[in-house]
Amino acid sequence: MVSAVNDLLVLNQLILSELAVRDLWDDGVFAGLHVVPLLSKLLSIRYEAGRHNQAFSRLESCRIGAILYLAGIRRRFGVNLATGIYISKLKDAIVAQEHSNLEEIDPILLWVLLIGGVQSLVHTEHKWFVSATADLIVRWQFSIWEELMDIVRGVLWIEGIVDAECDEFQREMSSELWNTYGQIFS
């Protein structure tokens, strides 16, 4: 898993550097050479269902978050990856973690929640991602979307991959925060 995460960080930097000099999204060969092997690597890592502890659940949420992140990248290259099965698995992995110390900001948790939220827009588990993310926004006292995105960008992010989905998730977050907590979030 460590090797796969390192490869993902390297891929992210490679994409950012390529985007600075050209329109990468039309280069299917790039996707085939760089994205597909990493996706295969992440898909080949097996989560041991009998080992339900916080460390394994956190690794599993990172693995699934990375798969969903790569699905967003692949979609930008014009190739869709069925993500439905991963949404429920991501929720289960997040729920299985003990989140006893939520007073401190956990950038990885925020990143996987955002990835799950933007990739689950048409999935039955989507409301859970909206609720869980709204709860963290209130706990961590974010007042604007940009505060949340600054933390997510610090983990792993490429602008333009899931912009429409992010806009929709932001609207839903604002509505949830207002309706549930009476908090304005812009």
Closest CA to 27 of 59, 73, 90: 73
Q: Indicate the pLDDT class of residue 185, thresholds 50, 70 and 90.
A: confident
The residue written with tokens 């602008």 in the block is 159
152: left (phi over 0), alpha (psi -120 to 50) or beta: alpha
| Dist. CA 74–CA 119, nearest whole Å | 13
Token readout for 144 is 């604007």
- So where are the chain's domains? 2-181
pLDDT of 26-81, one tens digit each?
999 999 999 999 999 999 987 665 556 777 888 999 999 999 999 999 999 998 88
pLDDT of 79-136, one tens digit each?
888 888 999 999 999 998 876 667 788 999 999 999 999 999 999 999 999 999 999 9
| Dist. CA 8–CA 72, nearest whole Å | 13
- Alpha-carbon 3 to chain mean position: 19
Greater pLDDT, 158 or 186: 158
